[in-house]
Structure 1
């Protein structure tokens, strides 16, 4: 479960980087729920103790992706 959350976090960060490009800001509307699911998977991995280290790393990656994507939407980059 921890490895899945780590891969999910990496994909979220890559998607977030793509959504930083002008005219692709709408991708944040899909990336934020995607990263939230990855964060939930990471929390489950940490709680069960299976893949704890990879779960923590995956959780951090998802939180960073959610944070930067939310800031991008707040400054008005969600339409363009």
Structure 2
């Protein structure tokens, strides 16, 4: 059950992460990354790894995009 909740949180983070992918809106990742961190924490409590892995991948991708923009842009 926790794995399913983690996957749902990851999908919400993925949908919310589409808008900041546009130029000059990367600052939105400051709001999306904590959602993925919560999903990864819930996924870590689960016996399966799918939800945790999804959220960890999202954190890495969003973090790299945030670093490319200098953390603000």
TM-score tier by shorter-chain length is 0.7 to 0.9
Counting matched residue pairs gives 72
Give unpaired runs (5+ residues) of structure 2. none
Give deviations 1:44-64, integer Å, cap 9, x for gaps: 012xxxxx3xxx221121111
What's the TM-score once normalised by structure 1's chain length? 0.78
Quick check: 1:24 aligned with 2:17?
A: no
Structure having the higher Rg: 1
What's the TM-score once normalised by structure 2's chain length? 0.84
Q: What is the root-mean-square deviation in Å for CA atoms of aligned residues?
A: 1.5
Q: 2:60 aligns with which of 67, 71, 77?
A: 67
Q: 2:72 aligns with which of 70, 76, 79?
A: 79
| Residues 7 and 25 (structure 1), Cα distance of their counterparts in 2 relative to 1, 3 Å cut | same
Runs of 4+ in 1 over 4 A off after TM superposition: none
Residue pair 1:39, 1:63 contacting (<8 A) in 2 also: yes
* Higher RCO, Cα 8 Å, sep 6+: 1
Give unpaired runs (5+ residues) of structure 1. 47-51
